[in-house]
Amino acid sequence: MAVRIRMKQMGRTHRHYYRIVAIDSRQPRDGKVIEELGTYDPHVKTKSERVTLRPARIKYWQSVGALPSEHCAAIFKKHLKKWEEIEATNAAKAAEEAAKKAAEGDAPKA
Residue 9: CATH number of its domain: 3.30.1320.10
What is the percent of the chain where pLDDT is above 70? Answer: 95
pLDDT above 60: residue 28: yes
- pLDDT above 90 (res 48): no
Ordered DSSP codes for the chain? --EEEEEEEEEETTEEEEEEEEEETTS-TTS--SEEEEEE-TT-SSGGGSEEE-HHHHHHHHHTTPEEPHHHHHHHHHHHHHHHHHHHHHHHHHHHHHHHHHHHHHSPP-
Residue 74 lies in domain: 3-106
Range of lowest pLDDT (32-46, 60-74, 95-109): 95-109
How many domains does one find in the chain? 1
Better-scored residue on pLDDT, 34 or 107: 34
